[in-house]
């Protein structure tokens, strides 16, 4: 939908319903992730979803639907002082959309809702990491306003 075709107050993501992740979301989360990564990471997402639903004080991980169809999800956490940072920060560690909804603004809707929720909690910064060679994802985050961090991420093979 073009900006000129929308009614006042309508956004380009109004067709996407976003809610917090729930325990029953596991099957479709694994399915969407497998469509993107070609691996079924059920055990990994079972742990991540359990943590998001049962072991966080504030639930910030989200699910997106277009109609009744699961369209995408994101998983994020809040940190209060970790890694030497004195202020709270949110870290987005997983975002995925169903290939069936590619280009339908599902990722944008998820990020928009996450940012709204974080502002309401007084969180002023959202961080994520992206593999250097994932140009499509880097472009998505760049379009969403992310910039390279002043912090350097280090790793070492063991």
Nearest C-alpha neighbor of 18 from the set 63, 53, 50, 78: 63
Closest CA to 73 of 152, 151, 8, 18: 18
Q: Which of 6-20, 44-58, 102-116 has the least mean pLDDT?
A: 6-20
| Of residues 88 and 106, more confidently modeled | 106
CATH number among 3.40.225.10, 3.30.499.10, 3.40.630.30, 3.90.420.10, domain 12-143: 3.40.630.30
Structural Rg of the chain based on CA atoms: 16
Give the pLDDT confidence score for residue 82 in this predicted structure: 64
Q: What separation in angstroms does the CA of 82 have from each of 16, 78, 129, 157?
A: 33, 10, 16, 23
36-50, 72-86, 114-128: least confidently modelled range: 72-86
Per-residue pLDDT tens over the stretch 76-89: 999 887 666 678 88
Q: Domain residues of the chain, as ranges?
A: 12-143
pTM assigned to the model? 0.86
* pLDDT score at 46: 96
């Amino acid at each position: 939908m073009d900006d000129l075709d929308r009614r006042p107050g309508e956004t380009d993501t109004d067709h996407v319903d976003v809610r917090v992740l729930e325990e029953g979301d596991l099957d479709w989360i694994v399915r969407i992730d497998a469509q993107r990564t070609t691996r079924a990471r059920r055990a990994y997402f079972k742990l991540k979803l359990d943590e998001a639903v049962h072991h966080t004080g504030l639930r910030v991980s989200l699910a997106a639907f277009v109609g009744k169809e699961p369209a995408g999800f994101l998983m994020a956490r809040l940190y209060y002082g970790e890694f030497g940072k004195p202020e709270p920060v949110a870290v987005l560690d997983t975002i995925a959309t169903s290939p069936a909804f590619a280009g339908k603004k599902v990722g944008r809707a998820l990020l928009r809702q996450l940012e709204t929720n974080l502002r309401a909690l007084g969180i002023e910064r959202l961080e994520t990491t992206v593999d250097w060679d994932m140009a499509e994802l880097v472009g998505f985050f760049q379009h969403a306003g992310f910039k390279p961090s002043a912090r350097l991420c280090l790793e070492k093979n063991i």
